[in-house]
Amino acid sequence: MGIHVGAEGGVVAASFMGVPEREYHVHDLRAFALPPQFKETNQVILSICDHQGLQQVRWISLLFSHTAAIAKFSQIYAEGMRRHGAADDGDLDRGIAGWSHERVGMRILPDGPGYRVIMVSEGPEYQSCKAEHP
């Protein structure tokens, strides 16, 4: 999926190479009535393309210990398996999983003293959006 994540001032910033789109970053999630399973959310990024509308959602977890990140990844992966079956992309031993037909991916990434779980969901017109904005 071309995920490049790096720490900038203690906040994880995700960028997807070559796709200029408007992004809406939600940093303070206390303003939203999110369900309990989202209490471990650090950031949600919505990518909205000019002609296709919302085409990508990126979810970034809070900072976890390595053990806690693996547990969170496993919990999310189990839900993905329940919904979509076994992942057909990635490497579970490296904390990477993807469901290509569903356009959903997830991974564990190091961030300073801990780890974050990142999930990405792309809309059906995401490739068209990339083509429109070389």
Mind listing the pLDDT tens digit for each residue in 40-53? 888 888 777 777 77
Residue 84 host element (H or E): helix 66-84
Round to whole Å and give the CA distance between 102 and 115. 25
Mind listing the pLDDT tens digit for each residue in 70-89? 999 999 999 999 999 999 99
pLDDT score of 11: 31
Closest alpha carbon to 27 in 47, 48, 6, 13: 13
Q: Which residues of the chain have pLDDT under 50?
A: 1-21
Closest alpha carbon to 18 in 105, 120, 131: 131
Contact in structure between 123 and 54 (CB atoms under 8 Å): yes
Contact in structure between 57 and 14 (CB atoms under 8 Å): no
pLDDT score of 10: 29
Exposure string for 27-41, b = 16+ CB within 10 A, e = fewer: eeeeeeeeeeeeebe
